Chains A and B, each alone.
Chain A
């Protein structure tokens, strides 16, 4: 490997670590966002570090009891379906509420979808673990819990990628609970230290290579003359 090569690979290392830190900052900023899943770097080759895919971690946040009857936590993989103005969107954020007409809706006011369209949620309605909606002792509806085979994100919501199959989710619903952010602060902080130190090491090697190149450019020419 000649000198300009090692210069660019050390610079690429710096860029990679800066990208890692950016991801860590994103996760830490969402340390208290309910239903947020930590972002992970997708495994890939280190050479092509400018465009690295980012995936959501499969790890779930801890489920916390809130005793609010419209708080729903999903345990297991899956999403709630909501009717956004642009079409059906998916979310794991279970901080639902009731609208003035008595329908269950999410924190943006979009109605949550069940088997029969928007779900009515009168006071006293309960939701069974498999998503069935029970009112006055009778099953009246079932939440549409889906698990798209591939999903992409758009703002606060996931939507099914074109051609993805929508499978019925295996997730269980826990009423009166919320899923906390799955960001692990300790793991993020140690990753932060690692990224910082590798950045420093790469910076040092850029300087070392720079030094060598300077020698080659100045001293070699001087020796000839």
Chain B
């Protein structure tokens, strides 16, 4: 009987954890390049066949494609495919991101709002705009020059296991032992294509997230009912002896 209460309470905690993950995902629905987290629970069944509450596992990040929005801003870049932009953060460390909302700074570097700069690219002075070919080569249009100037080469990286990447507070992914070593390639191959004037949104489907919220809420209620029923049975058992 006490196990019933414990299992029902653990079931409520499971649904609570699920809701926490979904709300964290929904809070980031407008962050370009955000990757959704999925809470995972594994069944745990004892040798005698009784099931315990599911075992919580660390949430797993999913790297499916997000929606591509045309923005008409030449500085917005998006990856269609599985790769990552290689960026250098403000501390000089190399990181990886799917966010493509760059802006050129005074020195000609393409910068993300968090201060990280895109590797391999430097726009010349007095450049007005740039274009990217299918292999990731950048050509800048410079005022008073008729021919476009080469401004670098964007390369994309990928990992054997992107779910193993560590997301830091600055919104940039860093490799870990789980993710494996990065392999870097020119756009157009296995690492995806670059699209200019486009932004990739978070890979969240708001509709399915809302459905998951409803499901978690009802499952929470059902577990609460089981807890109540167990409590009620204990109360009745205690009242067997009417004095």
B226 in contact with A35 (CB, 8 Å)? no
- Of A75-83, A95-103, A126-134, the one with at least 4 CB within 8 A of chain B: A95-103
Chain A: minimal CB distance from B29 (Å):
18
Contact A36 B51, CB 8 Å, known A102-B180, A107-B42: yes
B240 in contact with A203 (CB, 8 Å)? yes
- In the bound complex, residues from chain B placing their C-beta under 8 Å from that of A196 are 229, 232-233
Question: Is B46 at the interface (CB under 8 A from chain A)?
Answer: yes
Please tell me the number of chain B residues within 8 Å of chain A, measured between CB atoms. 62
Question: Is A60 at the interface (CB under 8 A from chain B)?
Answer: no
Please tell me the number of chain A residues within 8 Å of chain B, measured between CB atoms. 56
| Chain B residue nearest to A159 in the complex (CB) | B47
Question: Is B48 at the interface (CB under 8 A from chain A)?
Answer: yes
B64 in contact with A67 (CB, 8 Å)? yes
Q: Mark A36-57, 1 if CB is under 8 A from B, else 0.
A: 1001000000000000011110
A207 to B10, CA, bound (A): 33
B51 in contact with A192 (CB, 8 Å)? no
B50 in contact with A108 (CB, 8 Å)? no
A32 to B54, CA, bound (A): 9
Within 8 A of A (CB), among B133-191: 158, 160-161, 163-164, 177-181, 190
A25 in contact with B49 (CB, 8 Å)? no
A195 to B225, CA, bound (A): 13
A21 in contact with B226 (CB, 8 Å)? yes
Question: Is B242 at the interface (CB under 8 A from chain A)?
Answer: yes
B43 in contact with A93 (CB, 8 Å)? yes
Chain B: minimal CB distance from A195 (Å):
7
A153 in contact with B236 (CB, 8 Å)? no
A156 in contact with B49 (CB, 8 Å)? no
Question: Is B40 at the interface (CB under 8 A from chain A)?
Answer: yes
Contact A31 B222, CB 8 Å, known A97-B60, A123-B190, A156-B45: yes
- Of B70-78, B108-116, B213-221, the one with at least 4 CB within 8 A of chain A: B213-221
Question: Is A149 at the interface (CB under 8 A from chain B)?
Answer: no
- In the bound complex, residues from chain B placing their C-beta under 8 Å from that of A95 are 40, 60
Question: Is B223 at the interface (CB under 8 A from chain A)?
Answer: yes
A54 in contact with B43 (CB, 8 Å)? no
| Chain A residue nearest to B190 in the complex (CB) | A123
| Chain B residue nearest to A189 in the complex (CB) | B222
Question: Is A175 at the interface (CB under 8 A from chain B)?
Answer: no
Question: Is A87 at the interface (CB under 8 A from chain B)?
Answer: no
The 9 sampled A-B contact pairs (Cβ below 8 Å) are A26-B51, A31-B223, A54-B50, A68-B62, A95-B60, A97-B60, A100-B160, A158-B45, A206-B240
Which residues of chain B have a CB within 8 Å of any CB of chain A?
1, 3-5, 7-8, 10-11, 14-15, 18, 40-55, 57, 60, 62, 64, 82, 158, 160-161, 163-164, 177-181, 190, 215-216, 218-219, 222-223, 225-227, 229-230, 232-233, 236-237, 239-242
A22-B3, A32-B15, A32-B219 known; 12 new pairs, CB 8 Å cut-off, are A26-B50, A28-B223, A32-B216, A33-B41, A33-B42, A99-B178, A100-B161, A100-B178, A107-B57, A152-B49, A156-B45, A196-B229
Closest 3 CB pairs of A and B: A29-B11, A100-B180, A54-B49
